[in-house]
Amino acid sequence: MHGLPSSAFFLKNVIPLQISFDILMILFEARLLVAFGFDQPTVREIMTKNPHWWGQSNHISKHVKTFEDFSEFVP
Return d(Cα 23, Cα 55) in angstroms, integer.
Answer: 12
Ranges under pLDDT 70 in the chain: 1-2
The per-residue DSSP string of the chain comes to: --S-GGGGHHHH--HHHHHHHHHHHHHHHHHHHHHTT--HHHHHHHHHHSHHHHHHHHHHHHHTHHHHHHHT---
Return d(Cα 52, Cα 38) in angstroms, integer.
Answer: 18
The whole-number pLDDT of residue 6 equals: 76
The whole-number pLDDT of residue 57 equals: 83
The whole-number pLDDT of residue 2 equals: 63
The whole-number pLDDT of residue 60 equals: 86
The whole-number pLDDT of residue 29 equals: 92
The whole-number pLDDT of residue 69 equals: 81
The whole-number pLDDT of residue 27 equals: 92
